[in-house]
Structure 1
């Protein structure tokens, strides 16, 4: 079993896809900067911060964010639906910025794809031979899965909120 300092790794799966993708052979190009110092990130739909919802992908929409927020990292945006992460400061209606990755350390807030069809935003915890997806709201329970049922889609790096 992975130790406390180790990372877990899975093949990347694009939101809504049914098949794993091969690992990229080279780093994707960073999003192009706009003249005003912002970049446009693909907004891939909604993700549950509550009960997991079916993975959605709508790359026709985008959001402009400060270029300094992502630098050269490969990122995308998701709209939050639900309240299971409120104690982490993530509210219903927020937009989260996610860096694509296949590994994450214990305690990281991640986008997890469960059984290749449900996406959720939760804190990652490893327990022996299982993966726990932990909410940040006592009204919700931690869900525990075998490692073959969870594929990491990325880790949280930022948040955008409109008032």
Structure 2
């Protein structure tokens, strides 16, 4: 069975997506994890060989998802035209990035991409469902910044970056709902700092029926 590095090479030679090759080998991630537990329980040389193979395939799947998410955030040559990279969750993290289908002009040349916010976890910071955030990709994030984070290599969310007791975490900002903090782990990364928020038009007023 190929290693993660070999899968990447094979994908390039065959002009195929790494994720497709992984999915051909492992129907679902839950099946692979179940087989991995069985192989570890079986022990012996054969069990260890199967466990190594399955760990490589699961790692390849995670890396394929990470690459798929990050490749959508590449800046375009013009600094004043940036790609819409899909939606970002302002709520529980979720798979939210879609293929960018259009670009937008920005007034600030120091931003790299735009995302449409979905959810209400950041309303206390003035970021509401349907708003567009302009994001700087390479700026070093610091305590208190509003950031776009990649969780577990595949899920994207927008939250405040907070340092408490030597630990970094993501915190929502909604005075009406209690969203739990998200501790940052070794596979999580900050992929942008929100620089501007473009408000979406509000709904029309509701008039009482006479």
TM-score by length of 2: 0.56
* Pair 1:134 & 2:171 matched: yes
State the aligned residue count: 132
Match of 1:159 in 2: 197
Which of 1 and 2 has greater Rg?
2
Which range moves more in the overlay, 98-107 or 143-152?
143-152
**Which of the pair has the greater relative contact order for Cα pairs under 8 Å at 6+ separation?**
1
Contact residue 114 and residue 134 of structure 2 kept, 8 A: yes
- Find 1:97's aligned residue among 99, 115, 134: 134
Shift of 1:55: 4.2
Shift of 1:147: 3.4
Match of 2:123 in 1: 86
Matches within 5 A, 1:4-153: 17-19=65-67, 31=78, 39-66=80-107, 69=108, 71=109, 73-101=110-138, 103-128=140-165, 130-138=167-175, 139-153=177-191
TM-score by length of 1: 0.70
Contact residue 102 and residue 152 of structure 1 kept, 8 A: no
Shift of 1:86: 0.5
SS at match of 2:195: strand
- Relative distance call for 1:98 and 1:146 in structure 2 (3 A) is closer
- Relative distance call for 1:140 and 1:31 in structure 2 (3 A) is farther
The structure that is strand-richer by fraction is 1
- Relative distance call for 1:49 and 1:18 in structure 2 (3 A) is same
Unaligned runs of 5+ in 2: 1-63, 202-210
Contact residue 107 and residue 124 of structure 1 kept, 8 A: yes
Shift of 1:141: 2.3
Q: Over residues 30-79 of structure 1, what are the superposed CA-to-partner deviations in whole Å (9 max), with x where a residue is unaligned?
A: 625xxxxxx3210000001111111414233212222xx2x2x3510000
Unaligned runs of 5+ in 1: 1-15, 22-27, 33-38
